Amino acid sequence: MSLPADLHMHTPLCRHATGEPVDYARQAVALGLTEIGFSDHSPMPQEDFDNWRMFDRQLDEYVAKVWLAQKTFPQLAIRLALEVDYLPGHEDWIRALAARHPWDYFIGSVHYIGDAWDIDNPAKMSEWKKRNPFEVWQSYFERLTLAADSKLFEIIGHADLPKKFNIRPQQDCTPLYEKFLTAAARAGCAIELNTAGLRKECREIYPSRPLLQIAFQKNVPITFGSDAHTPAEVGMNFADAVSLARGVGYTESCRFKQRQRELVKF
Ligand code: ZN
Ligand code: FE
Ligand code: FE
Ligand code: ZN
């Protein structure tokens, strides 16, 4: 049984990852993966929006780096994608980005709640201290629901990112998951099993098993992603992710080519 595709990895253009796409691809081949996809942090309309993404003027360079990896490792399917931040009001910008290159898929991620707080940024822990964790989770899932509803994305990234620092609400979050996953099912978008959570304080794959169980009940398809920011992280903990997915009943995951979905057994 071959490992599923690793559809979430970064490049140095985002300013907080190391290793060129060819290095990630080499590692994937060494692990016996047959398919990967690059999904680096997309540019924003304002160049100084934050300091953890490529600049707009680097988009062609990004695509060229992925093409070089494709040329160097013809035995590996290498997809071209972006991890795009969803912010309400950015829809036209995201549509314009989509038209600029022959992308295979977009991962829609919510890192920002409100306009200026990226909740997973370790430099902004002070923001967490100002708020009740449940309020953060509510705002996050409201925005994630809008992201799914927007139909701009094939995949929704790390669906319970607010657990990253292991700050968890006392309240039951099931209704938040339900609403988001109803939107995902309606829009036909997948969620990813992102193993980066295992490397953070929460020590858990994104999303949690309870969220994934609801996703399965609602027929929301899945993908797998390491969210590698260095070549050694490619395919990391995929055995754990596969067993989590199987445990809730999944037997298939998605691959994407030119924004068309195909289901593959894993
Ligand atoms: Zn990143
Ligand atoms: Fe992300
Ligand atoms: Fe990522
Ligand atoms: Zn990410």
Q: DSSP secondary structure string, 176-240?
A: HHHHHHHHHHHHT-EEEEEGGGGGSTT-S-BS-HHHHHHHHHTT--EEEE--BSSGGGTTTTHHH
Distance 50 CA to ligand 1 centre (A): 12
Residue 85: both structure tokens together:
């931040």
Q: Looking at the domain assignment, is residue 59 inside a domain? A: yes
> Which residue range(s) make up the domain with 242?
12-265
Distance 49 CA to ligand 3 centre (A): 17
pTM of the model: 0.98
Distance 39 CA to ligand 3 centre (A): 7
Distance 11 CA to ligand 3 centre (A): 10
Q: Looking at the domain assignment, is residue 2 inside a domain? A: no
User: What does the pLDDT read at residue 2?
Assistant: 77
Distance 7 CA to ligand 3 centre (A): 10
Q: Looking at the domain assignment, is residue 199 inside a domain? A: yes
Report the CATH number at residue 90.
3.20.20.140
User: What does the pLDDT read at residue 115?
Assistant: 86
Q: Looking at the domain assignment, is residue 246 inside a domain? A: yes
Q: Looking at the domain assignment, is residue 86 inside a domain? A: yes
Structural domains of the chain, count: 1
Maximum alpha-carbon separation in the chain = 50
Counting ligands in written order, the one closest to the CA of 9 is 3
Distance 53 CA to ligand 3 centre (A): 10
Q: Looking at the domain assignment, is residue 192 inside a domain? A: yes
Q: Looking at the domain assignment, is residue 67 inside a domain? A: yes
Distance 157 CA to ligand 2 centre (A): 6
Q: Looking at the domain assignment, is residue 6 inside a domain? A: no
pLDDT tens, per residue, the chain with 266 residues: 579 999 999 999 999 999 999 999 999 999 999 999 999 999 999 999 999 999 999 999 999 999 999 999 999 999 999 999 999 999 999 999 999 999 999 999 999 999 899 999 999 999 999 999 999 999 999 999 999 999 999 999 999 999 999 999 999 999 999 999 999 999 999 999 999 999 999 999 999 999 999 999 999 999 999 999 999 999 999 999 999 999 999 999 999 999 999 999 99
User: What does the pLDDT read at residue 206?
Assistant: 98
**DSSP code for 103:** -
Distance 119 CA to ligand 1 centre (A): 13
